[in-house]
Amino acid sequence: MRILILGDLVAYPDTLKPVRKGYVYMAEGRVEAVGRQPVPEEHRYADLVVGGKGRIVLPARTAALIHATLYPVRDFIMGRDPYSIPAARRLLEELDCEAAWASSLLGLYEASLSGVGHAVLEDIHAECVSRAASELGIDAVIAVPAGCLENYDWRRDLSVGEAGIAVCSRDVETPRDKPLYGHGIDVDGALAVFYSSSSRAVSIATPGHIPRAGRIAVGIGAWSLYDINAAALSLEASGMPVEKIMEGTYMRSLVPGSRDAVIVVRIDRPPGWVDPGSWKPSSHLSLRQVETMIVGDNVVIDGGEHLLVGEEKLREASEILKGLLDNIYG
């Protein structure tokens, strides 16, 4: 499918220099061209045209490492190690594969509406979590937690797609052919190390790699899944440079030839109104009205509505979780 995306601004978060009155042209899930309007003749013909005046076009947001299965107890885990929180540990102990799917579906659905198109998910029941992400059209990889939970055989989940390993202990022996992530610790050969900081109420990460997308990504923790704007603004208030926050919420993308995820955000009215003429890097932190999200060749969101998962599936997931939480917490 050929898609033409128009905007008052086309933003490159890695350079923080937007293209004014720009366009992005995608074909078969890949960015073919990025430039200024007027659109050249070879890119004017498309199966779908989205965006337009009062919109900004930019790469989809990235959430990593986050815990999709812990969505029901999200208010307890902001900026904290979830494995040290009794409510989170109890939920993980009681989760079966069906409930892991349901929790991940609801959490990632909410994330997608705020423009999250890429995710590294640190979760158990990798097969069911991966299925939820796939149904929602999110480009996700699983990092199974190793040495983080008692009575969890993390090795059984390593057969799922491109699953990697989030290591909580240096004593854990891991296969050499799997991507490694450090959960709060430095691990030899790790692609990313994710730290928690309760003083900032979010987690911060060093650069890591999402295998499927083949790009560098940085995660800012659990909040980036549930409310990415709140996470970014909280980090800014704590004194973190805007450039670093941008690395934590966007992938370095919109590169011609790359398979990418793109979002279109309305900026011509509240919430998140921005004057295109006075655009500055910190303006990225308050973008809220995600109108369209395209991940590869899939139009995931359009008109602010999710096109792949509807109310019936959301109700099914909600009922599954309600039954589990009633059994756990009474």
- Specify whether 191 is located in the same domain as 219: yes
What is the distance between the alpha carbons of residues 310 and 292, in angstroms, rounded to a whole number? 16
- Specify whether 188 is located in the same domain as 241: yes
Q: 185, 220, 247: which is the final residue of a domain? A: 247
142 is a domain residue: yes
- Specify whether 144 is located in the same domain as 127: yes
Residue-level pLDDT, tens digit, the chain, 330 residues: 999 999 999 986 555 578 899 999 999 989 999 999 999 999 999 999 999 999 999 888 877 677 899 999 887 776 677 888 888 899 999 999 999 999 999 999 998 998 888 888 889 999 999 999 999 999 888 889 988 888 888 988 887 766 788 888 878 888 877 777 767 666 666 555 554 433 332 333 433 433 333 333 345 555 555 566 666 676 677 676 666 666 666 655 677 887 788 999 999 988 888 888 877 766 766 678 899 999 988 999 999 999 999 999 999 999 999 999 998 876
pTM: 0.86
Number of other residues whose CB lies within 10 A of the CB of residue 2:
14
Residue 248 vs residues 4, 194, 303, 320: alpha-carbon distances, Å: 27, 11, 26, 32
Helix axes 126-136, 97-113, angle to 10 degrees: 30
- Specify whether 53 is located in the same domain as 193: no
Place of tokens 């303006």: 283
253 is a domain residue: no
- Specify whether 34 is located in the same domain as 126: no
Tell the burial category of 31 from Cβ atoms under 10 Å away from its Cβ (0-12, 13-18, 19+): buried
Backbone angles phi, psi at 171, to 5 degrees: -80, -10
- Specify whether 79 is located in the same domain as 220: yes
254 is a domain residue: no
- Specify whether 46 is located in the same domain as 90: no
272 is a domain residue: yes
The whole domain housing 241 covers 61-247
Choose among 146, 152, 62, 153: nearest CA to 108: 62
Domain CATH for 35: 2.30.40.10
- Specify whether 52 is located in the same domain as 65: no
Q: Work out how many domains the chain is built from and give that number.
A: 2
Question: Would you say 129 and 123 are in contact if contact means Cβ atoms under 8 Å apart?
Answer: yes
Question: Would you say 236 and 245 are in contact if contact means Cβ atoms under 8 Å apart?
Answer: yes
- Specify whether 71 is located in the same domain as 182: yes
152 is a domain residue: yes
- Specify whether 137 is located in the same domain as 271: no
- Specify whether 92 is located in the same domain as 35: no
- Specify whether 52 is located in the same domain as 86: no
